[in-house]
Every structure is written in structure tokens, then in C-alpha cells.
Chains A and B, each alone.
Chain A
């Protein structure tokens, strides 16, 4: 837990510090976020299932789950928007829960059951959430869309399971898929094209159908 002293640093201070750090490191040739590697990459085997199919991969241990999906398994429906857990474009379902796949190393997920956008439905058999996104035009460029849809599916499950959010009035009571709940819970998925209003309508329709 942060101490009160730490909390005194507000966001603006933090940016000043971050700026200073970046500036100081520049003359030496740029910041190094991680120690420089000396030898060959360390490889490790990992097995998990993706969309119901088992995969056994030998991976550089630095490989994120996102890059394993995109670059090894060529499941490019899962998008890399920031690689820092800031945008939500890489959201997948991991053992039924949503996760930013850029923030977890692939080898940390041995035995996991992963569902990506390709696993929810295909062009000829759309998942109800996918169909609702098309109907309500819940996207434009389409790049954040798989992440929005994976998040959207998980959000409705979270509400059904009674998991409260910042806007829930009653932390232990039944949750309803209201627009406010949807907006709050979806806020980790950025859409720069600004399809939010339509996404809420798509999710509301699916939530209604689920009953």
C-alpha cells in the first residue's frame, strides 16, 4: 500500500519527474528499461490452449502472450496498440477473465485456456456481441474492436457474477448492465475513432437479450 507521503505526489509532479528522468538519460543515449542481455535468448517451453486448440511452443522467455498469439500462432485478431497495458486493444479472455495480453509473458500462462476474438466467432458464425457491433456500428477503423468485443463479453459476465465496479451503488447487491456500469467497466479499452456511444448500444442490446 502506498504511504500518505507517496500519495502527495500528484500526476503533474509525476510527469515532471518522468520528464526529468527522460531528459537526463538522453545524452547517454536513451533510457534502458531492462538490463542488456549478454548471450543467447533463454528459451522455454509452454503449453496452453487457444480457442480450444492445444499449443506447445518453445519461446524466448521475453515473449508476451500478445506476441506469442500474433507472431507465433498468427492469430492477429488480437491487436498491439501500446504494448504497455494502456489501451486495451490486446484484450483476450484467459480462463474466462479478460486480461491485457501485452502485460503477461507467454510462459507465465502454462495450462491456461485462452479465447481470442477468432475464438468467439468467425465471419459466417458471428458471436452475438460481434453481430451487435456490426449492427450498431460499434467501431470505425476496427483496430481496437477485437479488444472491445472481448472486454464487452467479459464485462457482461462480470456484471452477471455480481462483481461491483466504481459506479455500483450497492457493492453486494445484484448488478444490472446499465449504461453507466458498461461505460465504467469498458474504460480500459480506448477507441480513438470514438465509437463509444455505439458500443454501449451494442452491449446493451446483447445484455438485454441475455436477460
Chain B
């Protein structure tokens, strides 16, 4: 189905099932521990052996020698894989560094070897017997030091270009009120709860991989390239994924090494990355240095807006696209953005939840708060004065829908924004200085081609198959709701099968495109199935109403299952998109409100209240969508207050590579969180009229926390995270 005209009325609009806050259909399995993740597929293939990965002990250089004899002779060991045993491997197009080192080492904890043994304990013990001698090379590990050598990112992607509209320099220089500040965000880790894990089994030249991936089809393609085997020989199965946040978008070492280990040991092999290996072995969100310049009239109209960002990555990698929201969020006739990329030898930087906007808004939305104060304006009033209904770079290109102002108005009322003191440090409860902060949330709505197969059997059971993944997002449930609505059957009559490359290729889970795109693909397949049912029943499909397990047309009413008298019916289709996302800017919007308390003596910051108001198209399931948003708000609190990968700038690695030292929010850090979804549908996005929401929640929340800390204390910290050491020396008098 080609979606190239705005959606009109369709069966989804009935909202009998879609739009309802249904419990997750996979919920009972998850709460009983019977949902099986990648490492837990004990019964799918016999005789499984265990693999244990050894990571490189240097950041850059080469392996001079590697002694494997002791490991090979260790009890229970079946095989040891290094680059030598692996033979000729190519690099998948979505990987920057190779997944297996040797002889070159490209980053710390890059996999050097895999030991395969009868048991996990034996594999782990034998891995400690491998002796590797390295020749270390000089590397660049400090973004700040490499900043001046950073260059415009290579590649044809126009989004990497510098942008210029009007006369930024002139307008900024002549602006009556201006701001020129630099903000920094640190390297961050996805730290999803399930480690990367894979079970690999060969049957002749056919390879089956039970793994944890967000993108099944990307995994198949990149694995085929890496091994140099046909795509058709690889099957990936990924029914449950224990979190991803971008960290499981791409093929990782567990997949490759499990396959190589299984080939060498001639046994199925399962491999999980150990927690201390994950942070340096896999990808992370790169640190940024961001300069923001704002110029405005005395009345607060932005006349100049400029955003530059510096980040680093391995050679051949890409930048953190931290300026992208600044091209669209606020009006202003004179504008510029630029990104510069430094070559660093730290582990590979790549997408983490809302890449670009998450760190970009941490800077931009703090700058907006500072600018509002300079102007003597309320931060909400300043933002709304610079609202725009058109793409500021191309004023003839409207937003498909933009209710940015309403997010702030609804939120301000609900949160009690009028209670905020414009002057910082004025609200106090005992030892706690209280502050309120606000920030805009903004993230583009991306649409992706997505396929599905839907079948109907004689019992009236509808089965949906698509390689879409559910990484905690609720895909199982919203896909089930979509099929249920389209075919007029109860949700418990729908079976949803996901995460298998034997199924039609879907959008996958990433970039907050999965929910809208994958359900639109299911919609397309259901339209075809409705036509097939109507034809079997001899009725006109455009008149047919599917409801209550029946198909009605005029005064005729037939059971849906009766269409299968000659056998089950199956339909397959793919949603594809025209140019509606080019003619109209499709984005999602929100406003974050945060109240913090900062201890006047210790500068400890506690988040006390949080509210997000979101305008993100139709909400397919308010319960699971809300969970997406509160989860993203939680990660945003982490980014604002605690998350930071500490870089060893001499040796070139992230020092705090486990969950005790890389601090993420825990229960005690998070208060009750409130989310409001504005009631809306966006007919430009898809037949579902939905948009992405999974990443919107993290966009801007870090700045809202930081702005609240400033409101509480009067101390402005532009260097995230806002740990108490950065506040302490400048805290107001405790008395």
C-alpha cells in the first residue's frame, strides 16, 4: 500500500480497540518469567556450548602475539576463535569498527577471542589463560583536545551539511539582546538490562541466530556481509529483547562470535557479553561540545539563532547530530548550524535514544532559559513568542501539525507554573531549595517502509507475522490492537508473532519510527485480508463492516470465520510512503515540567515532580505509550544528574564500565511521573494517524531538570551531568 495522500476515515477511527489502554498482551509472560530471551532458548537446539569473549586490553595498536595453547588445553574447552581462526571477514556497512580485532585493535575491549567450552565456568576460566601481547599506538581520546582538528563530517547525507539562512553574523552582532554560551554533554551508555546475547546454530551452510536485536533485517544483511554468505542462509529469531535504546540496532560481537564459535566447535554456541565488557565493546552516545548563539529584540523575538556542535568518533564514524532540532524548533530569520567531527580512538559512538535531539536539547533548552532571563521574560512566554507553524528554513513548508503552544499551556496550568519564582533561590522548604524548570520536547516523526502478513483460520483466529521487534515498546500489543480493530475480532482472538526474519520485513525498532510504521504495515496487510474475506463471502469490500467477529454488508451478516471454508486466508502487504514527509514537516512536540529540591548544604539534587505534555498524533495505546514517555523521562533525569562515562584520557577507555560505577537512575531517584497526551490525529503520517512517541519523552527533559536546579539555586551549570561538586562552591548561603 502506497501512502501518498493524507489519510481519510478508515476502520481504525472506530477506536474500539486501538487507542484503548489495553494491558500488554505479552504481559503475563513477562511477569512470570516465561518470556524467553536470546540466551534462554534451551529447547530450540540440542547440545549447546558456552562462549566467553575476551576483550582487548588496549585502545589502539595491534596484537603482537597471542598464546592460546593453555586455553585450548583447559578442561572442557571445545574451541578458541581469534581473527586467525575466523578467516576472511568483511565489515558490515553499519559497523564503524570491526567486531573482531586482530591484528589491528581499534578500540578498548574490542573482541580479541572467544573461548567455547562445555560450561560457562570452564569458558570463563580458560579465557583468563589467554596471553595477549600488544603493541600500543598513540591514540586521541580527549574531545576537547581534538576539537580544533575536527572537520565537517564526510558523506553525502545533506543533514550533515552546514546550514545558513539570512545573515546570521550580522543579525547576531546587531541584536539588542544576545547570548553566546558553550554547553557540554558527556559520553553515555545505553546500559539496557539484558546484555547482548546470541545463540548460534549451523545446519550445513544454514545459520540460525537467536539474538537480541532491534532490527532483524539489518542483522541478517550485515551478518551476511560480514561472513560473506548469502542472506538466504541466515535466519534471525528475536522474540523478546531486554531493552535496546539504540544499543541493539546493529550487529555486535556476540552475534558474530557465536556464529564463528559454533562453526569451529561444530556445536550450537551461545554467547552473552559480560556486563563489564558491554560499555567499551559496544556503542555509546558520544560526548558533545555545543556552542549556542541567540540574538533577540528587546521584546523577545529571536532574530538570530546559531548552533554548533563538536563530537568525536572512530575513523569512518559519524557525528552526534546535536544541532538538528535547532533547524526546526524556533522561528528566526537569520540562522546557522554546523557540526564538526573529531577522530577519536574511543569505542564506537552511535545512536542512543533520540540521537541528536537528546543532547542537542539539553544545550538549546538551557540556552533558551538563560535567554528568557536576560530578556526578563517568562521562559514559556519566550518560547511561545518564537513558535512557528512552518519550517523556519523553508517558510512555504508547513508542519503537518504543531500544537507546541498547547503543550505548554496545558502543562503550565496542570503543574502550577504560576507558583514559580522568576528570581532563583527564593523557594525553600527546610533544607531544600525548591526550583521549577521547563523545556520543550521535540523529535521528528520518521516513517519507514514496513511489511506484515495476516492470516485468518477456521476458528476465526487472526495471526499477524512481521519481523518487527518489541524491545519493551509494546509492539506486540499495538500490533494486536491494530489487527483486532481492522478485522473486528476481540484482541484475544489475535496472535502476534514478531522478531523472525522468516516474516515480512518491518520498520524495526529505532528512531521512534517503529510504533506508527509497523502498525501501518499491519493495517495494509489487514486491508488486503479484508478484501480477500469480502471476495470469499461475495460482498463488496468497501461496504463491508468488520465487527464482533462478523462481516456485515447491507442487511447481510456472516461470520468472519466462514470466509475460510475453502481454507485459511492469508494476505501480505507493505506500507510505503510518498512525499508527504517532504511536503510537510512531521514532528512530535511536548513540554517538560520539573520540580527539584536542592539541599542547601550538600547541593544534593532530588527530582520531586515531573510532568510531560505530549502532542504526538494518535496514541495507539495510552498505557504503553505513557510507559515509553515516563521511561524516557527517567533516562533524561539520568542524563541531567548522574550519567557520565569517565574517559581515561591516557589509555583511552571508559573507566566506569559496569552498573555500579556508571550510575543510572534507581527507584529512589524518580518521583511520581505524570504524562498528558493531547488528543490529536495526524493524517499526514500514516493510515494510523499516529506518530512516534518513544523518544520524545527524553527530548528536553534534561534541560528542564537543569533549569529547575538553576531556579532553585541560582547556580548555572552548563557542563552535564549536574553533579553536586559542580554546584557546591557556588551555592547560596545556607543560613
Contact = CB atoms under 8 A, between A and B. Distances in A.
Interface of A: 15-16, 18-19, 22-23, 25-30, 32-34, 36-37, 39-41, 60, 62-63, 67, 70-71, 74-84, 86-87, 89, 116-118, 120-123, 126, 130-131, 133-135, 137, 139-146, 149, 179, 182-184, 186-200
Interface in B188-230: 190-195
Given A63-B121, A145-B31, A190-B193, A26 B57 contact: yes
A197 B672 contact: yes
B74 interface: yes
Interface stretch (B253-261, B493-501, B644-652): B644-652
Contact of B665 (A32, A130, A194): A194
- Interface centre among A118, A143, A179, by most chain B C-beta atoms within 10 angstroms, is A143
Interface string B617-631: 000000110111011
Interface in B27-52: 27-37, 39-40, 42-43
B671 interface: yes
Interface string B437-477: 00000000000000000000000000000000001111000
Contact of B630 (A79, A135, A192, A195): A195
B32 A126 contact: yes
Contacts of A142: 26, 29-31, 35, 240, 242, 472
Given A37-B75, A60-B119, A134-B31, A196 B57 contact: no
Interface in B60-74: 70, 74
Interface stretch (B1-9, B131-139, B307-315, B418-426): B131-139
Contact of A197 (B243, B473, B630, B646): B630
Contacts of B195: 80-81
28 contacts: A15-B646, A19-B655, A23-B650, A26-B58, A30-B54, A32-B128, A81-B195, A84-B275, A118-B34, A126-B31, A126-B32, A130-B28, A131-B31, A134-B31, A137-B623, A139-B472, A140-B472, A140-B473, A140-B627, A141-B240, A143-B37, A193-B193, A193-B631, A194-B631, A194-B670, A195-B630, A196-B666, A197-B670
Contact of B74 (A16, A37, A89, A130): A37
B31 A193 contact: no
A82 B659 contact: yes
Interface stretch (B582-590, B632-640, B683-691): B632-640
A190 B243 contact: no
Q: Is the interface of B mostly helix, strand, loop or mixed?
A: loop
A33 B646 CA distance: 22
Contacts of A191: 193
A30 B242 contact: no
Contacts of B539: none
Contacts of B734: none
A118 B32 contact: yes
Contacts of A120: 32
Given A77-B33, A192-B664, A40 B75 contact: yes
A197 B474 CA distance: 17
A194 B243 CA distance: 11
A62 B39 CA distance: 20
B710 interface: no
Contact of B132 (A29, A118, A149, A183): A29
A36 B630 contact: no
A30 B54 CA distance: 9
B720 interface: no
B194 A81 contact: yes
Contacts of B39: 76, 80
Contacts of A34: 125, 128
A15 B656 contact: yes
Contacts of A37: 74-75, 125
B345 to A, nearest CB: 14
A117 B32 contact: yes
A27 B57 contact: yes
Nearest to A75: B33
A121 B631 contact: no
Nearest to B240: A142
Contact of B241 (A26, A80, A141, A183): A141
B566 interface: no
Contact of A134 (B27, B55, B646): B27
A190 B57 contact: no
Contacts of A199: 667
A39 B75 CA distance: 7
A145 B125 contact: no
Contact of A30 (B27, B33, B37, B132): B132
B135 to A, nearest CB: 9
B194 A143 contact: yes
Contacts of A39: 75
A149 B31 contact: yes
A37 B671 CA distance: 48
Contacts of A116: 33
B9 to A, nearest CB: 30
B75 A26 contact: no
Given A15-B656, A15-B661, A141-B242, A134 B631 contact: no
Contact of B42 (A76, A78, A82): A76
B389 interface: no
Interface of B: 23-24, 26-37, 39-40, 42-43, 54-55, 57-58, 70, 74-76, 119-122, 125, 128-134, 136, 190-195, 240-245, 272, 274-276, 471-474, 623-624, 626-628, 630-635, 646, 648, 650-651, 653, 655-656, 658-661, 664-668, 670-673
Contacts of B128: 30, 32-34, 36
Contact of A84 (B651, B658, B666, B672): B658
A132 B81 CA distance: 46
Given A19-B651, A77-B34, A80-B272, A62 B121 contact: yes
B28 A123 contact: yes
Contacts of A179: 672
Given A15-B646, A82-B658, A82-B659, A30 B667 contact: no
B630 A198 contact: yes
Interface centre among B129, B133, B659, by most chain A C-beta atoms within 10 angstroms, is: B659
A184 to B, nearest CB: 5
Nearest to B270: A71
B133 A29 contact: yes
B664 A60 contact: no
A140 B133 CA distance: 43
Nearest to B125: A37
Contacts of A32: 128
A15 B667 CA distance: 24
B496 to A, nearest CB: 15
Nearest to A131: B31
Contact of A79 (B76, B122, B194, B474): B194
A131 B57 CA distance: 46
Given A137-B626, A142-B30, A142-B240, A187 B651 contact: no
B651 A86 contact: no
A41 B121 contact: yes
Contact of B627 (A28, A121, A195): A195
B671 A123 contact: no
A141 B471 contact: yes
Given A76-B42, A144-B193, A183-B667, A41 B655 contact: no
A30 B56 CA distance: 8
A37 B120 CA distance: 14
Nearest to A30: B57
Given A126-B31, A197-B671, A141 B272 contact: no
A130 B32 contact: yes
A123 B39 CA distance: 21
B192 A141 contact: yes
B193 A123 contact: no
Ranked nearest first, the 8 interchain pairs of A and B with the lowest CB-CB distance are A77-B33, A194-B634, A143-B242, A141-B472, A140-B472, A142-B30, A26-B57, A194-B631
Given A179-B672, A196-B670, 6 more contacts: A18-B661, A22-B651, A117-B32, A123-B32, A126-B32, A140-B474
Contacts of A81: 193-195, 275, 659
